[in-house]
Structure 1
Amino acid sequence: MEAIFIYILKTSGLITLFYLAYYFLLRKETFFNSNRWFLLSGLITSILLPFVVYTKIVWVAPTRTNFTSPINTTIKTIPVEESWFDTHLNLCLIILYVSIITLLLLKFAFDFYSLKRVIKGKTVQNQADFKFVDVSENIAPFSFFNYIVYNSSLYNTSELENILEHEKIHSEQNHTTDVLMARIFCIAFWFNPIVWLYKKAIMQNLEFIADAEALKKIADKKAYQYTLLKITTHENCVAITNHFYQSLIKKRIVMLNKNQSKKKNYWKYALVLPLLGAFVFLFQVKVIAQEKKQKEVNGVKEDIIVNTKSDPKDVFMYKIKKNTTDKELDEIVQKLKTNHEIIIAFSDVKRNSANELTGIRVDVRRKNGKAQIMQTSGNEAIKPFGVIVIKNQDGTETVNLQTGEKIHQPVTMGEGPDDAESYTSNENSPTPPSPPSFPDGPMPVANVDMSKMPKPPVHPKDVSDEKAMKKFNKEMAEFHKKMETFEPDMSAYEKEVEAVMAKREAIYEKEMAKYEIVMQKFNQDMEKFDQDMKKHETDIKKHEKEMKAFEKENKSK
């Protein structure tokens, strides 16, 4: 169960990483189609990348204490019973998680039912790859795969043409798949607010794509923007569809009039790659410990390599957690003494007000008279760790103190006479630099008061009513005149926004120039690291070859 929670946490973190990269770097660029694939690849990567594991081999002596990730072998765990609070807390979290997912799935099913109810019984007009459905309900136009649903009585010929061109783009480019995919992620990761913002970003970007592509086929750009404003009178829409109006009219109009982004800004997409690399090196490292043993041949001792994944006969683990009681510590002491003839002592035990362990010293005395010591102390509760007893094939036993802390930086503690402590750290891989953040800050305030924007007149339901239609056309003419007063303010606002963004881009480009220099140094360090790793592998293969030749020579004698 813990592994599932960790996977969900890692996936949520990756989704957050992609969203922040989109929000600060790509949101205001006009690379709408590229942004679409960036957002979709973010969802797919967040699901798959937690399964990618980087394997690191650590060579240890059999008499050393190794702080690494758990040994990958069959482990006979002698557990310390979990507290009543931990057991019931995990159960409550699982019930809460599943319950909310169930409710969201029911809402998802209801949305499908609502869509089916709108289309059911209506006349479907097939044209090319599209299925047009003209309904009588006062509902915003929308598309769902190749279905395009609208109420033709609410619009004149020009407006209806603009709407259909927009919805055709949604259908042709299969935008419904993006919407459904984003909805599924919201259901699975409902607890992460970034996921809901991610879904909103996907749907907004789809509207930008449809607007930009539709304008390539529509001659009157101004009429298209008026159509956007007219659709704002329709508040009803189907949740799981691409509907023409999505409460972002101002953003869509700004994007329609925005200058095309410079192609050189495509480099922003590559900035996510070092962050993904850092994620793998920091959280996806699997450490495999391999032991060096000594074999005596003709009176000469030689080191041989033994892989602890296959060499141990049995492995026993005695866990110590933050809520382990003094009584449970005493039980571990007795079991190690009885089962393995190992003397272990827990001292300097410190607890906080919640009776959680915040400090402890562990002294292990082995049968050969040598000792191992681990001590930790602080204000926070300790991380779980364990005493590992490895029973080897030859009948001997190896004792390790093992914790999951900093598995990307393995730490070994030397073994010597009583009370001897020796610490060395092994940091093999270079740490990638963090890319600069795009400058943020307040944006210019638009002179356009959207609350004062005139509302378009309501189209008569009965198009054959000449008096009503004449009145409607007159009101529409007045509406167009009032809307023209907003255009100068919108143009001035766009210039102010472009000026602010130009200054921020200049600052960001300077920071990126510095970052690229640091990245070159990082790449050089990585190349050296790769060369060292290849040399290390070559040495291992050479050693194995020599050992095989040595064994063959001994057999022939």
Structure 2
Amino acid sequence: MIAYLIKSGLCIALLLVIYHLFLEREKMHQFNRFFLLFALCFGLITPFLTIDFGFQTSIPVTSFQFTDTASLPTVTEAPAVTNPEKEWPVQKILMAIYGTGVLLFLIRLFSGLFSIFHRINRSDCEHLGTSELVLVTQNIVPHSFLKYIFVNKKAYESGNIENEILVHEQIHVSHKHSLDILFVEVLKIIFWFNPVFYFYKKAIQLNHEFIADELISRQTKNISGYQRILLHHANSNQPFQLVSSFNFSLTKKRFIMMMKNKDPKRTLIKQLFLIPIIGLAVVAFSNHATAQDSTTAAKADTIQTPAPPEPLQPPEMSTEEKKLFDEAGSLYQKVYQEYMSLDPKTTSLKELEAAYKKVKEAAGNVHKVFQEIAGEDEIPPPIKIGLEPEMRKLLSSEKVRKLKSTMESLREKRSRAYKEFTELNPHEISEEKLQQAYSKLQEINKKSHDAVAAYYQVVGQIVPPPPIPPMPPKPDQSK
């Protein structure tokens, strides 16, 4: 558990540093929103991954080795050097501290939710598009949570709430920014001792404001007026930790970002730069399995995991226990080899699922027998059960490769067309030619969107789709 916490914490922290150094100052806020949420999920999942690099390591392991014959699966372990019973008092104290922290943060979350919904129930509400406008009597700064926008009733009825403020909060509502905040709050409950999650929340909330500011800036030509409205509400306090507030983190960052122009080339380069970073993070923070001997790899599966810091010595097996363990191991090896020998291209999904179910049942039986012999408190080593049937089918599909090729080709054409259009000088060519170039870009842009949607509709389980850059201004606006 300690190793997992260290690995996941370092991985999440590394990706946050990458975000602040390379992504935060770029005008690609939707991509950044995806990256921050992805970074949290990626950092929590990666330590569970196991990668076989094809070479032997000298790390002591606890392993099950199932051979071709019906011989008994052997259990070997690194020597234990301490008495685990002495660790129990410390473990109990640490668990009590952790449990107390979880309980306090859980109470804090539900208290915040209760306060918000209590305010909704005792206030007047009005419909505002797809949002609900909550008119409160307290003197508050406008803020939103889920579909609700909270404003001062007196100020709203007297027309003192600027339209830009309401539009700003409607953007938070329509983009479901509250769900991002709730997601981080849940992680903060589980990992309350890790300060990295607090920095993630701040980065996510600031990015939400970037998104809202950018969309407001597109709709109004008076950006300086919008900035004056922000300054007017700068000294108001944010009422709840769970809401999206109009004046959150009112710093020079937001003003600078409003005036900044997007550089498609630079943003694309930085997005591509993330690919090797993610690859290195997988290598650095995943588990590294030792390779099988090349002469027996086709016959046997060796399941190896890093030994625990202080492994327990399994008890000696009697003749009957040895026979029982032998039968369970042989059955597992048989059904696993049968499943892995099935060709996903020619085998139906139903047949794959039936074979995969047998593998899971056989692996579970090995664990059950192991615990019957070693005791319920002994945690058995994990056993490889292979990729799930749907994933094997997906990765072997010719359709996936064709969709990816089409998508990449159209994205490249879109980039070229975008570059050609943005390099045109509207004062040197006719309006007709400018309109033709824009129409061509629109057509390629739509095809590119459709290709991306088609591809990630198929492989969306593996990775969410990258964002496609927005269209440039229309020719009449360029003039």
TM-score between the two structures when normalised by the length of structure 1: 0.48
- Corresponding residue for residue 430 of structure 2: none
Q: How do residues 208-357 of structure 1 correspond to structure 2 at under 5 angstroms?
A: 208-282=210-284, 283-290=286-293, 307=300, 309=302
Q: Deviations over 1:326-356 (max 9, x none)?
A: xx9xxxxxx9xxxxxxxxxxxxxxxxxxxxx
Please give the residue correspondences for 1:156-555 in structure 2 after superposition, counting only pairs within 5 Å.
157=159, 159-282=161-284, 283-290=286-293, 307=300, 309=302
Q: What is the alpha-carbon distance in structure 2 between the residues aligned to residue 226 and residue 305 of structure 1?
A: 70
Q: Is the 8 A contact 1:125 1:133 kept in 2?
A: yes
User: What is the Cα deviation at residue 120 of structure 1?
Assistant: 1.2
Aligned to 2:63: 71
Q: 1:117 to 1:43 in 2, by over 3 A?
A: same
Which residue is 2:120 aligned to?
119
Aligned to 1:17: 14
Is 1:107 paired with 2:108?
yes
Question: Structure 1: how far apart are the matches of 2:217 and 2:295?
Answer: 70
2:95 aligns with 94
In 1, the alpha carbon distance for the partners of 2:234 and 2:155 equals 12
Q: 2:25 aligns with which of 25, 28, 51?
A: 28
Structure 1 CA distance for aligned equivalents of residues 215 and 308 of structure 2 = 61
1:142 to 2:143 alignment: yes
Name the residue aligned to 1:82. 83
C-alpha deviation, 1:17, in angstroms: 1.7
Q: Which amino acid aligns with 2:9?
A: S
Matched, 1:42 2:34: no
1:54 and 2:51 matched:
yes
Q: CA deviation at 1:93?
A: 2.4
Aligned to 1:493: none
Tell me, yes or no, if the aligned pair for 1:79 and 1:319 is still in contact at 8 Å.
no
2:457 maps to what in 1?
none
Is residue 163–residue 244 contact of structure 1 (8 Å, CA) maintained in 2? yes
Instruction: Write out per-residue CA displacement over residues 131-170 of structure 1, whole angstroms, 9 at most, x where no aligned residue.
Output: 1111111122111121111115347747421110100110
Can you give the 5+ residue segments of structure 1 that lack an aligned partner in the other structure? 60-64, 294-303, 329-334, 336-557
Cα distance 1:139–1:188, how it changes in 2: closer, same or farther (>3 A)? same
Q: CA deviation at 1:288?
A: 4.6
Percent identity over the alignment is 26
Partner of 2:364: none
CA separation in 2, counterparts of 1:320 and 1:242?
Answer: 44
Shift of the 319–114 alpha-carbon distance from structure 1 to 2, 3 Å rule, reads closer
> Structure 2 vs 1, CA of residues 226 and 85 (structure 1 numbering), >3 Å: closer, same or farther?
farther
- CA distance 1:292–1:33, change in 2 (3 Å): closer
| SS of 1:72 mapped into structure 2 | strand
Aligned residues of 1:36 and 1:202 also touching (Cα < 8 A): yes
Alpha-carbon contact 1:71-1:288 (below 8 Å) kept: no
Structure 2 segments unaligned to the other structure (5+ residues): 66-72, 317-479
Q: 1:83 to 1:38 in 2, by over 3 A?
A: closer
Per the alignment, residue 129 of structure 2 pairs with 128
- Deviation track 1:69-121 (CA, whole Å, cap 9, x = no partner) reads 43235637685552666433333222222221211111011110110121112
Residues 41 and 291 (structure 1), Cα distance of their counterparts in 2 relative to 1, 3 Å cut: closer
| Counterparts of 2:216 and 2:309, CA distance in 1 | 64
- Structure 2 CA distance for aligned equivalents of residues 289 and 82 of structure 1: 33
Greater share of residues in helix = 2
- Displacement after TM superposition at 1:199 (Å): 1.1
Name the aligned partner's letter for residue 8 of structure 2: T
SS of equivalent residue, structure 1 residue 70: strand
| TM-superposed deviation, 1:68 | 5.3
Distance 2:268 2:225 in 1: 32
Letter in 2 for 1:237: P
Q: CA–CA distance in 2 between the matches of 1:319 and 1:50?
A: 15
Distance 2:294 2:61 in 1: 15
- Distance in 2 (alpha carbons) for counterparts of 1:105 and 1:319: 31
Note the alpha carbon deviations across 1:222-270, whole angstroms, 9 max, x for none: 2211211121242241211111122334332232233334533322123
Q: Secondary structure of 1:28's partner?
A: coil
Aligned partners of 2:234 and 2:250 also within 8 Å: no
State the AA in 2 paired with 1:100: G
From the superposition, tell whether residues 118 and 218 of structure 1 become closer, same or farther in structure 2 (CA, over 3 Å).
Answer: farther
The root-mean-square deviation of aligned C-alpha atoms, in Å, is 3.5
Report the secondary structure of 1:126's partner residue: strand
Alpha-carbon contact 1:50-1:284 (below 8 Å) kept: yes
Distance 1:66 1:186, change over 3 A: closer
AA paired with 1:274? Answer: P
3-state SS, counterpart of residue 132 of structure 2: strand
80-89 or 40-49: bigger deviation: 80-89
SS in 2 for 1:245: coil
Structure 1 residue matching 2:149: 3-state secondary structure? strand
How far apart in 1 are the matches of 2:104 and 2:238?
22
Give the direction of change, closer, same or farther, for the CA distance of 1:216–1:321 in structure 2 (3 Å limit). closer
1:182 Cα offset (Å) = 1.7
Contact in 1 for aligned 2:134/2:148 (Cα 8 Å): yes
Mapped to 2, the partners of 1:46 and 1:320 lie a distance apart of 23
Task: Find the residue that maps to 2:162 and give its secondary structure.
Answer: helix
CA separation in 2, counterparts of 1:76 and 1:67?
13
Q: Is the 8 A contact 2:9 2:194 kept in 1?
A: yes
Give distance in 2, aligned partners of 1:319 and 1:215. Answer: 55
Q: Select the structure with the greater relative contact order (CA < 8 A; seq sep ≥ 6).
A: 2
Taking structure 1 as reference, are residues 72 and 58 closer, same or farther at Cα in structure 2, changes over 3 Å only?
farther
Q: Which has more strand, going by share of residues? A: 1
TM-score computed with the length of structure 2 as normaliser:
0.56
Shift of residue 289, structure 1, vs aligned partner: 4.3
Provide the rounded CA distance (Å) in 1 between the counterparts of 2:192 and 2:308. 33
Over 3 Å counting, the alpha-carbon distance change for 1:158 and 1:263 in structure 2 is farther
Contact 1:71–1:289 (Cα < 8 Å) also in 2: no
Q: Matched residue of 2:32: which SS?
A: helix
What SS class does the counterpart of residue 125 from structure 1 fall into?
strand
Distance 1:34 1:110 in 2: 32
Distance 1:267 1:112, change over 3 A: same
Aligned residues of 1:11 and 1:46 also touching (Cα < 8 A): yes
Shift of 1:57: 5.2
CA contact (8 A) 1:57 1:290 kept: no
Deviation at 1:66, TM superposition (A): 6.0
